Chain A
Amino acid sequence: MTDFLIYLATMVGIWGILSLSLNLQYGVTGLVNLGHIVFFMLGAYISTIMVVLAGWPIFLGMAAGVVAAAAFGALMALPTSNLQQDYWAISTLAAAEIVRLVFLNTQLGGPYSGAAFGMSGIPRPLRAYFTSGSYDLFYMVMVLTVLAICLALCWWVLATPFGRTIKALREGDHVPLALGKRIATFRIRSMALGGGIGGLAGALFAHYNAFISPQYFLPLETFIVWAMVILGGAGNFVGVIVGTVIIQSIYNSTRFLKDFVPIDQALLGSLRMILIAVLIILVILYMPKGLIPERRRRYERPPAAQG
């Protein structure tokens, strides 16, 4: 049981990092990214390719995954940074699918590696120093530490002038434009930053799971990240981590339901999705800003003393 909880905590950490990155793009900058899984995929694939095929050290490979995902974020935003929100959303969905199709059709290594087969036997960092049981614990600690660092980074970014500008961007282009800001640049930088963090989550996932294939990165996965962000509270970084915990818990705890209630196994899978959907509807109806809403800072002056 402990091993399973460690696994769950690791997955929560990895998905938490991914939802932080979406929150940076959507919750903070207001960019509706429907292809967010692309960063996760690039982080996972590029890191794997560099480590397995090019023979790089694992942590350097992970860094390459982060850089590639960040670069793709910028690249994705370059031609589309002036699009309105709905057009932007469609272009992100398309970009993610294009990348997935490239990996689906590219042989990497031997005839049974890459393409539809995926890549297996991905090495795990510092594996030789731990026993099988303690390694999972080590990885969980590492992932949760990275999550904490990413959270701190996001908070720090919000406190900078850059952070305040992308927040203003979310509310509409007028204010940043009136202040003489080049909105396209800010969008590109936000995409790159969010992309890099998403790529880090992907790299951590690949070297934990030891296997990746294009099947892991279907558009459905993007919507699971969205569910985490909406449920937790877009704009609030702690909120999205809470959202991640809840969605992951629902996913895994429903597996245990059948041990207590005589329920058809096939129903459970669908039931799980219904439960998540109902939760989201409830949250949208009753708490439209999510479980832990973003705290609005008021910048107005205190009213001048009368008299």
Chain B
Amino acid sequence: MKRTVLCGALAIGAAMLLGTVPSTVQAQEDVKLGMITSLTGTNAVQGKDIAEGMQLALDRINEGYAVPLKGGETRQIGLGLLGRTVSVIVEDTESRPQAAMDAVRKLVNVDNVPLVLGEYSSGVSLPTGQFTNENKVIQISIGSTSPQLREIGPYFFNAIGLDNIGGAELARLAMRDSGATRFASIVPNNPFGVGMELSACRTVEEMGGECVNKVRYDLEKTDYKAELNRLFQGDPEAVFYTAYGTEARLIFRQAFELGLKPEKGWYADYMTMWSNEVREIPEAAEGVKGWVVGVSGEFYDKEYAAPFEEKYGRASATAFGAYAYDATMLAALAIEEAGSTDPDAVRQALMDVSKTYVGVTGDKTFDDDGMQFEENYEYRVYTRAKLEPYDFAPAN
């Protein structure tokens, strides 16, 4: 009996391993692209949104679509690409770099995709990017913002502006708006958060101010009082704030309860990451200023938000699905422009098409390193449980 059960279990395992062989034959006709995204684990919400944003673009490519270009022009794309249907093989990274490496190796070595979309986390995009670049496979990262990504190499692109743009933007807004010169910063201790801190504080120093405290906190803690007390030591006039929803709610609430409020206010990046979660105790975040990435406005609604809602029956959960949409569209335009999936031709074509493509997340022009020249930020202030547009008047 024991042996039977065990043999059965082993047989299932073996069958699954053997099952790997015929997969290369499947869907031979399609233009196959790959995507790595976190469908499970800590970044699952963003990861699923990214997969859905990509799917919206993919449907349009396969059904035929007039892609808006600068100057009011459009470019007809589809049905499919190069006369073939396009399919995207989505692999789960489990929000773990090791599982992501397994995933990207499968896409490149087994499925032989010429192009990989993803990932959200910089900690995943870095090692996978090194691998794809070495193997001359193009990768377009979706939500990763660590400045290290710039160094990866010629086959690596990024659909979102890096931290150095975002952090500098936040610092400029804060200094001009509040007139403060003594800042503190609180960020999650991951590549994204630390990148924001480094860039914001460097900009502050360049503009004659200083960051008196830099606090990096661990995610998923149940108490941030110690971090908050450290943050307010030395009486900073204003605070740079980066947080995901769950932590943001707790940090704002505890700061509110402790009566800790910077004299010249909080300045936050990616405010949509927490604006829903903080709605339970809106008074704790009342008056927080900062920016959201430029995913709003009429064009965004018409081109992305409304069709997304129609397709999935609900609004997009995060801002990152829209970046995945843009990355997918750019990839499609580049393959069409290159007339093949040859990585060198597509790489050059990506540079060219990015100059004319109008993204739902704004201008998508790549610089020489394949990174975004600029990012579209819109200023917001959190008031009465809502993010309202903020027209700041410089303090000096």
Contacts of B10 in A (CB 8 A): 246
**Once the chains are docked, how many angstroms separate the CA of A66 from the CA of B392?**
57
Nearest Cβ in chain B — how far from A79, in angstroms? 26
B9 at the A/B interface (Cβ < 8 Å)?
yes
Q: Is A274 an interface residue (CB 8 A)?
A: no
Instruction: Verify B97–A213 contact, CB threshold 8 A.
Output: yes
Q: Is the CB of A1 within 8 A of B130?
A: no
Asked if B20 contacts A253 (CB within 8 A), the reply is yes
Rounded to whole angstroms, the CA-CA distance of A234 and B165 in the bound complex is: 52
Q: Are B191 and A116 in contact (CB under 8 A)?
A: yes
Residue of B2, B24, B40, B94 ringed by the most chain A CB atoms within 10 A: B40
Residues A116 and B189 in contact, CB atoms below 8 Å apart? yes
Which of B51, B92, B106, B135 is the one whose CB lies under 8 Å from A252?
A: B106
B148 contacts chain A at the CB level, 8 A cutoff:
yes
On whether the beta carbons of B102 and A251 are closer than 8 Å, the reply is: yes
Complex CA–CA separation, A185 to B266 (angstroms): 56
CA distance in complex: A111, B122 (Å): 15
Q: Which residues of A contact B364 (CB under 8 A)?
A: none
Which applies to chain A's interface (DSSP): helix, strand, loop or mixed? Answer: helix
In angstroms, how far is the closest chain B Cβ from the Cβ of A97? Answer: 11
Which residues 209-264 of B sit at the A interface, judged by CB distance below 8 A?
A: 216
Q: Once the chains are docked, how many angstroms separate the CA of A48 from the CA of B169? A: 34
- Comparing B193-201, B278-286, B295-303, B308-316, the segment that makes contact with chain A is B193-201
Q: Are A270 and B13 within 8 A (Cβ)?
A: no
Contacts of A255 in B (CB 8 A): 91, 102-103, 106
Q: Does A211 count as interface, using CB distance less than 8 angstroms?
A: yes
User: Which of the residues B105, B130, B151 comes within 8 Å of A4, measured between beta carbons?
Assistant: B105
- The answer on a CB contact under 8 Å between B92 and A259 is no
Pick from A116, A213, A253: contact of B193, CB below 8 A.
A116
CA distance A11 to B102 in the complex (A): 10
Task: Determine, out of A25-33, A86-94, A280-288, the stretch whose residues face the partner at the interface.
Answer: A280-288
A223 interface hit (Cβ, 8 Å): no
A287 shortest CB reach to chain B, Å: 6
Chain B interface, >50% SS class:
helix
> Which of B23, B98, B126, B198 interacts with A256 by CB under 8 Å?
B23
| B172 part of interface (Cβ distance < 8 Å) | no
Whether the Cβ atoms of B189 and A1 lie closer than 8 Å is no
Check if B6 is an interface residue, CB within 8 A of chain A. Answer: yes
Residue of B nearest to A269 (CB): B40
Chain A residues with CB under 8 A of B98: 216, 221
Asked if B28 is at the interface of the complex by the 8 Å CB criterion, the answer is: no
Question: Complex Cα distance A213/B191, Å?
Answer: 10
A158 sits at the interface (CB 8 A): no
Cβ-defined contact, A1 with B24, below 8 A: yes
- Residues in chain A near residue B20, CB distance under 8 A: 1, 4, 253, 256
Task: Judge if A254 is at the interface, Cβ distance under 8 Å.
Answer: yes
Residue of A nearest to B131 (CB): A210
Interface positions, chain A 256-305, Cβ under 8 Å from B, are: 256-257, 259-260, 265-266, 268-270, 278-279, 282-283, 286-287, 291
Q: Is the CB of A269 within 8 A of B148?
A: no
B214 → A minimal CB distance (Å):
11
Expressed in whole angstroms, the minimum distance between the Cβ of A279 and any Cβ of chain B is: 6
Residues of chain B in range 1-28 having any CB-CB distance to chain A below 8 Å: 1-2, 5-6, 9-10, 13, 16-17, 19-21, 23-24, 26
Question: Which residue of B is nearest A15, CB measured?
Answer: B98
Near A by CB (< 8 A), chain B positions 158-203 give 189-191, 193-195, 198
CB of B16 within 8 A of CB of A257, answer yes
Shortest distance from the beta carbon of B189 to any chain A beta carbon, whole Å = 5
B20, B51, B191: most-surrounded residue (chain A CB, <10 A):
B20
B135 proximity list for chain A (CB < 8 A): 132
Indicate whether A266 sits within 8 Å of B48 (C-beta atoms), given known contacts A3-B109, A116-B191: yes
Task: Among A3, A132, A249, A269, find the residue whose CB has the most chain B CB atoms closer than 10 A.
Answer: A269
A265 to B146, CA, bound (A): 27
Whether the pair A287, B6 counts as a contact (CB closer than 8 A) is: yes
Q: Which of A113, A120, A246, A260 contacts B127 (CB 8 A)?
A: A120
What is the CB-to-nearest-CB distance from A288 to chain B, in angstroms, rounded to a whole number? 10
- Verify if B44 is at the interface (C-beta below 8 Å from A): yes
Query: Most chain-B CB neighbours within 10 Å: which of A11, A112, A211?
Result: A112
Q: Report the minimum CB–CB distance from B13 to chain A (whole Å).
A: 6
C-alpha gap A213/B198 in the complex (Å) = 18
B216, A105: Cβ atoms under 8 Å? yes
Interface CB pairs A-B, < 8 A, 30: A1-B21, A1-B24, A2-B109, A3-B108, A105-B189, A115-B194, A116-B123, A116-B190, A117-B148, A117-B194, A117-B195, A132-B134, A132-B135, A210-B127, A216-B98, A249-B13, A252-B102, A253-B13, A253-B17, A255-B102, A256-B16, A257-B16, A257-B19, A259-B26, A265-B39, A265-B51, A278-B9, A279-B9, A279-B13, A286-B6
Binding site for B on A (CB under 8 A): 1-4, 7, 11, 104-105, 111-113, 115-118, 120-121, 132, 209-211, 213, 215-216, 220-221, 246, 249-257, 259-260, 265-266, 268-270, 278-279, 282-283, 286-287, 291
Beyond A1-B24, A213-B191, A286-B2, list 16 extra A-B contacts (CB 8 Å): A3-B108, A112-B146, A113-B148, A120-B130, A120-B151, A132-B134, A251-B99, A253-B13, A265-B39, A265-B92, A266-B40, A266-B44, A268-B92, A269-B39, A270-B40, A282-B5
> 5 tightest A-B contacts by CB?
A269-B40, A211-B127, A3-B109, A253-B16, A4-B109
